[in-house]
Amino acid sequence: MQEKLLKIKDSINHFIEVSEKEKKSLKDSIEMLWLNADIQRKKTEIIIPESADENILRIRQLLAAAWSEDFKND
């Protein structure tokens, strides 16, 4: 019985850790969307990508900008 309780406790702790990581990831994604929206709002003309390659390039640019900001904050 004690062993089962320990397994449940470990499972709950693991779930908490995973959910914290997911929450941070979602928060970062929301911040990226806000950053992108702010950039787009400041532009006079919004450029909408027409292909998957352009979407991938845009995502990489946004990630690079976010990582740059993270390194500035450290």
Contact between 44 and 9 under an 8 Å Cβ cutoff? The reply is no
Q: Is the pLDDT of residue 59 over 60?
A: yes
Q: Is the pLDDT of residue 74 over 60?
A: no
Cα(47)–Cα(19) distance, rounded to whole angstroms?
35
Cα(16)–Cα(9) distance, rounded to whole angstroms?
11
Q: What is the pLDDT of residues 17-50, one digit of tens each?
A: 988 888 888 888 888 887 777 776 666 665 666 6
Indicate whether this model's pTM tops 0.75: no
- The greatest distance separating any two alpha carbons of the chain, rounded to the nearest whole angstrom, comes to 66
User: What is the average pLDDT score of the chain?
Assistant: 79
Contact between 60 and 32 under an 8 Å Cβ cutoff? The reply is no
Cα of first residue to Cα of last residue in the chain, in angstroms, is 46
